Chain A
Amino acid sequence: MERLTFDLHASSVREINQFLHQAVPEPGADLVTIEHPDGAHNLAVGLNAPWQVRIGGHVGYYAAGMNQEATITIAGNAGTGLAENMMSGRVHVRGFASNSAGASAHGGLLVIDGDAGLRCGISLKGADIVVGGSVGSFSAFMAQAGRMVICGNAGDALGDSLYEAVIYLRGKVASLGADAQEEKMQEADYEAVETLLRAAGSDYRHHDPRQFRRIASARKLYHWNADARHSY
């Protein structure tokens, strides 16, 4: 298979995205490597075909934004808005992710090997997120659907104003947000955690699903309610 390599010292983000917005030309010609990203913003955004993209360093804002179908691996760290509004496919960051990773993502799998910053999974709408490290405050804020597996710890206000998304947390939480509560793990939860850890890759196999706790919505803010005025 011929391997196509872009070097951001020689090509622009525009040229690379333009190329990746095409359909995959033929089976086996889908692997693209991007070298010297050097923190560039908006890299590999809006992909809509099953490309295999490997980015050889740190990326800036919105890397892999709105991804559909593609598998994107980032060797370094990622800036704000990683894989925001992803619809399908897979995005895997080997380093850390900044704020709002996976924001409003509808589908697919986002894996962050390091820590994630504030608001990871904010407004999540159906995607799965696995974080190898810890997440910052207000993670899963107003998350509507989907699952988050957090292998490390969580900051303040985890799951604030949660809707139907579910969080699985292995470590400690600084505080739960409004309307979030810990619930008893069921067999289906253990299976879900195991499935997601397996999907995240071999680095996650040593985790035991029985070490995780389930955080979900208490559903007390689902209807306008004067008795819950302190939560508004």
Chain B
Amino acid sequence: MPPIDPAIPPQEMSASYDPAILSYIQRAAADGLYEIRGLGAKRKIPHFDDLLLLGASMSRYPLEGYREKCATQTILGTRYAKKPIMLDMPITIAGMSFGALSASVKEALGRAASALGTSTTTGDGGMTEEERATSKILVYQCLPSRYGFCPDDLRRADAIEVVIGQGAKPGGGGMLLGQKINPRVAAMRTLPAGIDQRSACRHPDWTGPDDLTIKIQELREITDWEKPIYVKIGASRTYHDVKLAVHAGADVIVLDGMQGGTAATQQVFIEHVGIPTLAALRQAVQALEEMKMKDTVQLVISGGIRTGADVAKALAMGADAVSIGQGVLMAMGCNASTWTTPSGEPVDATGDYQTLGASPGTCHHCHTGHCPVGITTQDDVLEKRLSPSWAAHRVQNYLQTLNMELTTLARACGKNNVHHLEREDLVALTVEAAAMAGVPLAGTDWVPGSSTGR
């Protein structure tokens, strides 16, 4: 570093062309292609951190945190299915594909979910035997690509999730780059190994909500009306999409906000398409309430759920459960500086991050298949860095912590059931969050956009 010349005044940085934009322009100029990456949105947007829970004091009576029970049981799919899903907690694991993730990760997710009495979900690569064997409750996704889609697996599933969109990329398809396509992934997807695999942005055999109604009936007919049908929507025109999904016959709506993760998609999608989870959740609840379907069709919210506070606030806003993808990967060591040997020894991974041009905490190279901690990879050597039993234990600890935080917060609000949390229990820290969530600005009774307050 040359010495700083005191004669030169500090230089001012352009607000419009900050280092991030400069880097973007230089990369685009060098490659001539848009950037594909993982990890979801990086920019800060209104989120559950902008809400606060109102603990009980005089006007509400709290429950004793370590003595009085607070129920967490959650039932999904009560509208039509003969066999609704019964969960021990309102926290589920989101759909993530085998292909994007290693088989070890899928197995670990199944083990953790089963230990906690909750569900996990397949993804855009079909159902693996490891996943089915370890998952007590497995949701099987019906995706636009239909990679590996099989009626036998449909019948082996506990619920079916028709995926219409993903929070990180509403309206967009997927891209699994060739370097992650080993022979097993290729065989499951009926494609040659080593080539880029594009996932379609829309289903091949229906083109709109009227068709979806009949498609859902087909799935019910094939499975003899036993299994709940979830419909997963990437949050954008949420209010109308939720109403259409209800009209089409969904038992459960899974709503994925723009803070949702992705293994690989265009950066321009991640940062500029869709709406925040907070805003989407409020619109979805409003749509269900207007249709008088709030207690008939369950709502699962996902997209950047990280803590028990996020879960409590989501439930208070009207969600029946949450679904977590990126958070459980981080529990397994995503973006950690070390990976752990089967004997429990931490091994430094910073050199591998540097090779990718990243560092622990900033890595978004899920799409490359070179995950330093063995999560988003199909490389034999890297995959062995993640032990399924170690990873399952970490995920179990993480989700259990969230559930304990949730019940602690619910008791503080005077609830003996986490599903009794309500909008009355929330205020917002900012005008933006108050407007999006439809709750009062803290210290006032003002709900932006409402003429009556509350």
Contact = CB atoms under 8 A, between A and B. Distances in A.
A13 B220 CA distance: 12
B57 to A, nearest CB: 55
A145 B195 CA distance: 14
A163 to B, nearest CB: 6
Nearest to A44: B221
**6 tightest A-B contacts by CB?**
A46-B222, A104-B146, A81-B205, A103-B204, A66-B151, A226-B32
Contact of A106 (B177, B190, B207, B214): B190
Contact of B151 (A46, A60, A62): A46
Interface string A79-107: 01100110100000000000110011010
Given A41-B214, A164-B192, A123 B204 contact: yes
A137 interface: no
A99 to B, nearest CB: 8
B31 A226 contact: yes
B191 interface: yes
Interface residues of A, number: 44
Contacts of A99: 205, 207
B211 A80 contact: yes
A210 interface: no
A87 to B, nearest CB: 6
Contacts of A77: none
B221 A104 contact: no
Interface string B236-276: 00000000000000000000000000000000000000000
Interface residues of B, number: 36
Contacts of A17: 221-222, 224
A42 B204 contact: no
A32 interface: no
Q: Say whether chain A's binding surface is mostly helix, strand, loop, or mixed.
A: loop
A134 to B, nearest CB: 20
B349 interface: no
A197 to B, nearest CB: 24
B269 to A, nearest CB: 14
Interface string A207-232: 00000000000000111101001000
Given A42-B217, A84-B205, A123-B146, 4 more contacts: A21-B224, A48-B151, A100-B206, A222-B196
B150 interface: yes
Given A163-B191, A164-B191, A42 B218 contact: yes
Nearest to A82: B205
A60 B192 CA distance: 35
B245 to A, nearest CB: 18
A80 to B, nearest CB: 7
B206 A80 contact: yes
Contact of B205 (A14, A80, A224, A229): A80
B178 A223 contact: yes
Nearest to A101: B205
